Amino acid sequence: MYRGEAAKVLGEAKVGDRIRVLKGERSYEGVLMPRSELGDDKHVVIKLDNGYNIGIEVTGARIERLAQAEVAKGVSFPEPEFSPEKPEITILGTGGTIASKIDYATGAVHPSFSTAEIINAVPELAQVARVRTKLLFNILSENMTPEHWKKIAREVAKELNGGAYGTVVAHGTDTMSFTAAALAFMLKNLTKPVVFVGSQRSSDRPSSDAALNLIAAAKVATSDLAEVVVVMHSTTQDTACAIHRATKVRKMHSSRRDAFKSINALPLGEVDEEVRLFGNYKKRSEGEVYADSRLEERVALFKVYPGVSPELLEYCVDRYRGIVFEGTGLGHVPESLLPAIERAREEGVAMVMTTSTLYGRVDMKVYSTGRRLLNLGVIPGEDMLPEVAYVKLMHVLGVTQNYEEVRSLMLRNLAGEITERTLANAFY
Amino acid sequence: MYRGEAAKVLGEAKVGDRIRVLKGERSYEGVLMPRSELGDDKHVVIKLDNGYNIGIEVTGARIERLAQAEVAKGVSFPEPEFSPEKPEITILGTGGTIASKIDYATGAVHPSFSTAEIINAVPELAQVARVRTKLLFNILSENMTPEHWKKIAREVAKELNGGAYGTVVAHGTDTMSFTAAALAFMLKNLTKPVVFVGSQRSSDRPSSDAALNLIAAAKVATSDLAEVVVVMHSTTQDTACAIHRATKVRKMHSSRRDAFKSINALPLGEVDEEVRLFGNYKKRSEGEVYADSRLEERVALFKVYPGVSPELLEYCVDRYRGIVFEGTGLGHVPESLLPAIERAREEGVAMVMTTSTLYGRVDMKVYSTGRRLLNLGVIPGEDMLPEVAYVKLMHVLGVTQNYEEVRSLMLRNLAGEITERTLANAFY
């Protein structure tokens, strides 16, 4: 439904009415189309007599109501027309606020994700690319599992190999960084952009960030980047988005629009009217993308804290092939956990150490506790986020379960997840 | 041992030598005392003929060697003299870098914590207060357990009730925020400052933050504050410290000196030459402090992530009386965990929801997942840090195991751990 500035300018005009929009020296005449709540409050969408749908910014515009709607209900979204010279991108829907909250003026509450509906919601997208959409599934991101990661990875590879210039994955924000990191490890020979995007504010709230994020994501999907990234608001202002490397990003606020932050790294770029990339990013090239969807799911992320029970770790040693510790400080655990860690080593369970501080890197040579853990075969996770090390260990154990190979792969920078030691402390 | 600037100015002079320090129009004559590695590189300490020990800043000073030491080894630290009008504070040692790394020029490696040694290491302390020291135990903070928290709480109460104007607790940084939060909940009718302090850099490194932190902590211990706080470097510069409320602070970097940050709150103040307090803090008053050391240790901190095993939660439901979830986003878990949560409710296990984003607060009414969890009796943890909610739940379950009382206490602001809703999003 129209709200805010658009509603004010529309006055009495209702969806289905024939209206005239006067803006500067131009005037547009057509039928007022429904607008999804995903859209901002600055545009009205009308269907011109030639069948085209256009979005017009209402700032400085005046609207005349020419005729009342004959049938206000049941207006469907026409297929949008795209300029043939624009690059083609695919937006894959997986659920979450950005995909599922399109509640139409017509009363429909189905979680639609058709191209027509997306373009109606965010008409600016048509200026960026020829958009194709595909709803893979529609789940809240807290219900995302490694099985979903595999499906998304395969679908992204299919789209990119099928000719898409880039892909956007619309995803709930809760676990977006896990899925994005998983794809960063799974997609081999990536030659085009894979852009994760979500919305922190449900679109029924006036401060929704959905439209700007989606437009920015589409721009990045047509950029020179050949990496998996997350594109979300960089500030609370509705003006610009940051481009975060999938393996260095974390949701750091429960509700703010600028919740996503690059940790131990700078963002790869920013987007407002245009995309500005900086730093060392992998550039677009040619070649088939391959989705290596082997994942060892028997991996646990084990949080270390005073009073943590050694029995809990024993339980994990019995059931998992890999354990990522979210340790304290430079990578420590209480000595009460050492017997279980010793047994884990004997049983061939791969162990990786990360830090609960999130910022900074582990350094297990400084204190005796760290050195003991190194001697017990615990692999230092460098400056990897605990969540990223978890996803990476699933990937690595999917490839090999040989300890030396696992160790070597965990210490190697596979997808930008490890920042050079000399740089790590600068980004805080 | 002397290093850096002090070593340069000392030249050939060795510990035990009789020297003269010329600075401006003043000159000091005495025996060069050993200096612990905890000390900075800007002071030399000499024992004057009147028996006093003084620290002299070497900047702009010149040193003459008057006589060689007769016995360079075995010099012991004399008892320092304090000005009787200074307030008395107690520094309690528990271990960690700040207490255990005092490696003396005499070759001793014992983890000493005598007043004489501390004052020798950081002579500026004597300008702040009459210092008494007591080594409670000497452990790395990753080995700290709830039993240690109880001991520290009881000792702090004893010191404060015994006449100390304030207390400083020297603690390893890894789990300092857990212990500090535990004391914030355990110390009832707190009328004086309890100041936790540590060191991020081992004192054998030139960039050690130990001295400044300790001096700042002593100043806060003589201030108008009647709360449990953490005092650590506020920037990487060796110039000022921040005063963090114990229930709102977290170690956010593995190695930087400014690793501790207030989360969802402003610091309570800062310290350079003097202590500046701001915000709403509890003021010093009169009255006996009481340590309520009841803690239910059967509490787990359960991290939620994609692929987390429901069996792991079932295991916890069987063994714990309380579970704090580090959920996703506004306070969510995968629906695969719901059966275990339902069983936890039936078995009377108290459950509290926090968010892995750390910043922001949970809001379980926005999405269906949150509403389901609320219906299952999960208590929203507001903007509490997961670690703080964990410590608080141990405390609350130590007091009562009645669900309604637990719920009421968890939702009530007991020690500054819950920030008002209107303020929470501002601090990011």
Ranges of each domain in chain A: 4-67, 88-291, 299-411
Q: What is the CA radius of gyration of chain B?
A: 24
> What is the complex's ipTM, to 2 decimals?
0.83
Which chain B residue lies closest to A302 (C-alpha atoms)? B303
Residues 6+ positions from A121 with CB-CB distance below 8 Å: A35, A36, A38, A39, A102, A211
Give the span between the Cα atoms of B249 and B175, in whole angstroms.
11
Most confident of the following: A3-7, A135-139, B179-183, B278-282 = B179-183
Fold of the domain built from segment(s) A4-67: SH3 type barrels. (2.30.30)
Which chain B residue lies closest to A362 (C-alpha atoms)? B254
pLDDT of res. A106: 35
CATH topology agreement for domains B88-291 and B299-411: yes
Residues 6+ positions from B238 with CB-CB distance below 8 Å: B207, B209, B212, B257
Instruction: Count other Cβ atoms within 10 Å, centred on residue B284.
Output: 17
Q: Which of B109, B94, B111, B121 is nearest to B33 (CA)?
A: B121
Find the catalytic residue in A192, A219, A251, A392.
Answer: A251
Q: Is A392 on the interface with B (CB under 8 A)?
A: no
Fold of the domain built from segment(s) A299-411: Rossmann fold (3.40.50)
CA dist B174 → A240, A284, A301, B119 (Å):
37, 43, 19, 25
Q: Is A367 on the interface with B (CB under 8 A)?
A: yes
Give the span between the Cα atoms of A268 and A329, in whole angstroms.
27
pLDDT tens by residue, A358-389: 999 999 998 889 999 999 999 999 999 999 99
- Say which amino acid occupies A253: H
Q: pLDDT band at A70, cuts 50/70/90?
A: low
**3-class secondary structure, B422:** coil
**What secondary structure letter does DSSP report for B24?**
T
CB contact under 8 A, A362 and B334: no
**Nearest Cβ partner for B332 among A174, A336, A361:** A174
What's the number of CA atoms in the CB half-sphere (13 Å) around residue A143?
14
Give the span between the Cα atoms of B275 and B278, in whole angstroms.
10
Q: Is A315 on the interface with B (CB under 8 A)?
A: yes
Structure tokens belonging to residue B247:
């229930």
Q: Which residues 177-216 of A are in CB contact (within 8 Å) with B?
A: 178-179, 202
Check residues A107 and B288 and name the one with the higher pLDDT: B288
Q: Is A297 on the interface with B (CB under 8 A)?
A: yes
pLDDT of res. B207: 64
pLDDT of res. B71: 47
pLDDT of res. B37: 58
**3-class secondary structure, A166:** strand
pLDDT over 90 at A234, yes or no: yes
Question: For residues B159 and B207, is the Cβ–Cβ distance under 8 A?
Answer: no
Superfamily name and number for A88-291: L-asparaginase, N-terminal domain (3.40.50.1170)
In angstroms, the separation between the Cα of residue A21 and the nearest Cα of chain B is: 37
Instruction: Count other Cβ atoms within 10 Å, centred on residue B212.
Output: 25
pLDDT of res. B310: 97
The residue assigned the tokens 């987007």 is A271
Q: pLDDT band at A113, cuts 50/70/90?
A: confident
Instruction: Count other Cβ atoms within 10 Å, centred on residue A374.
Output: 15
Which chain A residue lies closest to B361 (C-alpha atoms)? A254
Q: Is A308 on the interface with B (CB under 8 A)?
A: yes
Q: pLDDT band at A144, cuts 50/70/90?
A: very high
Give the span between the Cα atoms of B21 and A183, in whole angstroms.
66
Give the span between the Cα atoms of A134 and A101, in whole angstroms.
16
Rounded mean pLDDT, A165-169:
98
Least confident of A76-85, A185-194, B32-41, B127-136: B32-41
pLDDT of res. B138: 87
Check residues A3 and A363 and name the one with the higher pLDDT: A363
pLDDT of res. B221: 98
Q: Please report residues of B whose CB lies closer than 8 A to that of A202.
A: 366
pLDDT of res. A102: 39
CB contact under 8 A, B334 and A143: yes
DSSP β-bridge partners for residue B22: B27, B62
Q: Which residues 327-366 of A are in CB contact (within 8 Å) with B?
A: 327-336, 355-363, 366
Could you tell me the mean pLDDT of each successive run of 10 residues in chain B, 428 residues long?
A: 85 86 89 74 84 82 83 61 94 78 36 78 92 92 97 98 97 97 98 96 67 96 98 92 98 95 96 93 97 97 98 98 98 97 98 98 91 96 98 98 97 95 72
Q: At what angle do helices B310-319 and B338-346 cross, to 10 degrees?
A: 10
What is the CA B13 to chain-centroid distance, rounded?
37
- Say which amino acid occupies A22: L
Find the catalytic residue in A115, A173, A354, A369.
Answer: A173
Give the span between the Cα atoms of B305 and B290, in whole angstroms.
39
Q: Is B296 on the interface with A (CB under 8 A)?
A: no
Which chain B residue lies closest to A260 (C-alpha atoms)? B357
pLDDT tens by residue, A22-67: 988 889 998 888 776 567 788 888 888 876 778 888 888 999 988 8
CA dist B289 → A136, A314, B188 (Å):
60, 40, 6
The full DSSP string for B122-178 is -TTHHHH-EEEEEE-----GGG--HHHHHHHHHHHHHHHHTT-SEEEEE--STTHHH
**Burial environment of residue B233 by CB neighbours within 10 A (0 to 12, 13 to 18, 19 or more):** buried
pTM (predicted TM-score): 0.84
